[in-house]
Amino acid sequence: MFNKQLSGSNKKRGQMEMESQDSIALNEANGGFKLYHPHRHVKMKIFSAVFLLVACVGTAFTAGVTIGSSQAGKSQYNAEKKTMDMYTSEWWSSSSDESDESEPIEENASYGGFCWDCGENSGPRGWDWWFGWGACPCNDGWIGSCCDISLDAVDGGFSDWSAVSECVSDNGLGCGWGKATKTRECNNPSPKNGGTPCMGAYSEEEVCDAGECADDGDGHIYKIMDYAEYIAAKAEVFQNNLHTTVGDLWDVGLCNLMASTNKVQAAYFNSLGSTVMFEGVNFLRGFKWWGMGSWGDWFAGERWEKPVSGEEIDIVPYTAVTGFNYGKDFMNDFFTADKNPSWEDDSGHDSAIAMLTGSLKNGDATCLTHVLEPRFPFDHEMLMKAAWDGFTWFNYDELKYASNGDFGYHLVNQRSEAFHGTKDVLGLLMTETVFSVHLTYNEVLDQFELDLSDMEQFSKENMPDGEGVINGYAGLGGKATFKFDNDMGVDDKMIYGRLKTTSITYDGVTYNEQDFADPAVMEAEANNKWIGWRYAEKVIMSSLLAQTNLILHVKGLHLELAAAFQGVTIKSFKNNVDHPVRRLLDQFTHRSVQATNGNFDLLFEHKAAEFSLAPLYYQAQLTMIEWYINNKPLSMATLSMEEFAEDRNMAQFSSKPPRDSEGKPTRFFWRWHYRALKAQNMYKTMIDCWVDKNYGGDWSQLLTNSDVVQWWTLMKSHLPSINQAIQQHPEWISNGDLTQDSFTKVVSTLMTWVSHIHEDVGHSAAYVVYNPIHTPMMVPKDGVGVPLNSFAFNTNAYRTFVFLERAKLLEEPAPFWFDDAKDDKQCYTDMQTTYTNLGANDDAFSECG
């Protein structure tokens, strides 16, 4: 059995079979196909039908045999049920490729079926020419098909645990984290007269500390990395049965399993679990099932279901939809819907969350991520293999952009080569990617600045009450400055030049361009260690990811905007789902409540935030969110793209630059903002078109409509960013009054952030999340290697919950969003056409692929 291999314990027969039975029960509880490899779905359905037919025939035969039994045999059913339950899983467990070294099954044992030899505890059985031999008529005091279970049976009981063994290190170096074992016997009492054997583990392994590893320079790194290569090669042999593995995870719990097995195996188990959860989270109604070819379309079904008229949804604080005590007052100040709307199916998502909760045994994910060992070298192929082995829906090189560290790794390499082999990865990212959202421009010094020093207060070491940075990892924060370089790279193919990093400051030390030429830094990196300015650069990248994922994405988009936007829209137009404004907004609010409510508990109750958002304890992350809410509150005005650029003194860089006599650009081109501004202007055009089609261009009809007035009132009372705009920028929002200008600005701003920018700051940013060589999410404090488990679990978190098949702007939209009589679909298709043309003809868009 697979479970025996995991723990190394000599499990008894009954115990292993019960675990196999639990695994089968788990399959049934999750809808049968939930646990199967995608290519086995149809095969397993057919197999299940055949098995059912065979079972029916077998039942008829068994009935024929037992009808002729004595009354005593019939009365045994309830007493025998426990024994029958124990052994009915034998057909499944025997299919494993692994050998079983436990005691052989006795041919005449009582498995709840027909017995060939009744034995000495039975009278003679009867014979019937039609039904054959009857059941064994047991003597008084005996039960079982073969009358071999005594009513005086004594069930087994465990002894006390032994003393814990000496700590054996995981890394093979005699130091660092390791395992210690304790055992117990089934002799208190021993089972007698057919009594039940002990149920449970005969041995357990605990995480232990084998002592601090001495840093003896390159030799230390080499030993760790050599060990990493060895265990990565061993991952090739992990081809264990998926059903048994998932059953193990559920029954034992991921944390217990983590403590009792090789850490590379734990990463592999996590990918197996990700395979199962991926289906529930991503295969929403109407979206193609990956890995199933033409069957994927058949399983998908209809994508859209029309909203239900009259369905009640209340707008409530986040504390009302969670049983978790976040310990922060701000959770009462932001709002979501009290439930998901019925027309947006979420059963798969709920079952996936329930499965994760069950596998954690109501614990959290920290046991999976807080271990630094083993560490892998800066070897891209090895890291991809370690993080993707066991995930079966698709491979890392099959999916471009969003959930693919392979793409991000090669993209950075390509850009580096294009700019003459520069090692300035931070400058390249700030030139082209969403991380440039954090730039400001200092006109006096003519330099671009990145200031993440606010994060330093939340990431100190050894802070009380679970605050601060996770032990063993570098704290967040730092600063950097950049200058524009009009060098267009090899063969002048990089036509807009780039930002060049001129200084990096971290932990009180500032590195400048002279330091960037230090050969010792690159030599250390070749030996899998970051030092000096390279170490500081990687920590700043980790901080950038945290600022983007935690503050901009989770806090800004989900906590403050998206869920309340959908909830208010549904409530305001509940009795008129065909209202023109409801149909306009539904296109941009779809599944926002679902994506927010469940994930908040996942992130903070189960502490998944500690590896998917930042290398900080979850309490520190909540404290950071609270600080930004109080000290840098969101304003709807400065979220609007024109004001967003002005607020950062970056407006002059949002258009394509002029060129000098040699054809080189004369200034920086902020492409991220250029694209977002284009998107918002497209949405403004779409809104005007919508009013023209539905109201004949008469805005007064829209602005005086009672449902729209109620919507505006609820928006102001449930989106604090709107009130912030009223207080700080009253002229931008017409002093809070509902006007053509305020409606267009607020709606186009929200559309831009929940669609275009949401993909940028959340989902598409995953292409760097999975790239720990260039853009690590977490940096070990000693700068050595890539901790396998924090990277592997982070990969699985994003792969499962960020891939998210959803409606896309350029796909065929839901038919009920439009009124054929008004021809308002033209407004949407015109927007799609504009987007398509930009992708084909505007190099600032086409460079995104």
Q: Specify whether the CB–CB gap between 341 and 568 falls below 8 A.
A: no
**Predicted TM-score (pTM) above 0.85:** no
3-state secondary structure 544-609: HHHHHHHHHHHHHHHHHHHHHHHHHHHHHCCCCCCCHHHHHHHHHHCCHHHHHHHHHHHHHHCCCH
Asked whether 550 and 625 are in contact (CB, 8 A), the reply is: yes
Alpha-carbon Rg for the chain, nearest whole angstrom, is 31
One DSSP character per residue, 179-226 reads EEEEE--S-TT--BTTPPPP-S-SEEEEEEE--PPP--THHHHHHHHH
Q: What are phi and psi of 554, to 5 degrees?
A: -70, -50
Which helix or strand (DSSP H or E) is residue 42 part of? Answer: helix 41-66
Q: Residue 341, SS3?
A: coil
Sequence letter at residue 821:
A
Residue 180, amino acid: A
**Which residue's entry shows tokens 């992990």?**
238
Q: How many residues does the chain have?
A: 849
Are the beta carbons of 825 and 814 closer than 8 angstroms?
A: no
Q: Say if CB 739 and CB 709 are below 8 A apart.
A: no
Q: Which amino acid is present at 630?
A: N
Residue carrying structure tokens 């995480």: 207
Instruction: Tell me how crowded residue 62 is: count the other CB atoms within 10 A of its CB.
Output: 12
- Least Cα distance to 96 among 240, 236, 246, 203 occurs for 240
Query: How far apart (Å, rounded) are the C-alpha atoms in residues 599 and 591?
Result: 12
For residues 447-476, one letter each, b for 16 or more C-beta atoms within 10 angstroms of the residue's C-beta and e for the rest, the string is bbbbebebbebbbeeebeeebbbbebbbbb
Distance between CA atoms of 664 and 669, rounded to whole angstroms? Answer: 12
Q: What is residue 265's predicted lDDT score, i.e. its pLDDT?
A: 63
Tell me how far apart the alpha carbons of residues 796 and 275 are, in angstroms, rounded to a whole number.
Answer: 9
CA–CA gap between residue 775 and residue 783 (Å, rounded): 13
Helix (H/G/I), strand (E/B), else coil: 119: coil
CA–CA dist 493, 826 (Å, integer): 38
- What per-residue confidence (pLDDT) applies to 513? 94
pLDDT recorded at residue 649: 98
Nearest to 334 by CA among 753, 625, 617, 594: 625
CB within 8 A of 503, min separation 6: which ones?
A: 479, 480, 481, 510, 511, 512, 513
Low-confidence ranges of the chain (pLDDT < 70): 1-114, 127-132, 170-177, 207, 209, 211-266, 269, 282-303, 345-349, 355-369, 399-405, 761-770, 801-807, 848-849
Asked if 834 contacts 682 with a C-beta cutoff of 8 angstroms, the reply is yes
Distance CA 208, CA 205 (A): 9
What gap in Å lies between CA 319 and CA 312, rounded to an integer?
Answer: 19
What whole-number distance in Å separates Cα of residue 359 and Cα of residue 16? 18
d(CA 101, CA 75): 36
Q: State the Cα–Cα distance between residues 263 and 224, nearest whole angstrom.
A: 14
Helices (H), 752-824: 758, 766-769, 788-801
Q: How far apart are CA 497 and CA 412, in angstroms?
A: 15
| pLDDT for residue 285 | 59
CA–CA dist 355, 361 (Å, integer): 10
pLDDT at 825: 96
What are the strands of the beta sheet with 447-451, ordered from one edge? 440-442, 447-451, 479-485, 498-506, 509-512
What is the predicted pLDDT for the residue at 729?
96
Find the angle CA(642)-CA(647)-CA(649) to the nearest 5 degrees.
95
Q: Are residues 449 and 440 in contact, defined by beta-carbon separation less than 8 angstroms? A: yes
DSSP run (H or E) holding 247: helix 242-252
Q: Would you give the DSSP letter of residue 752? A: I
In angstroms, the CA 203 to CA 143 distance is: 32
**pLDDT value of position 97:** 36
**Count of Cβ atoms closer than 10 Å to residue 848 Cβ:** 15
What tokens does 675 get?
Answer: 């694209």
Cβ pair 535, 484 in contact under 8 A: no
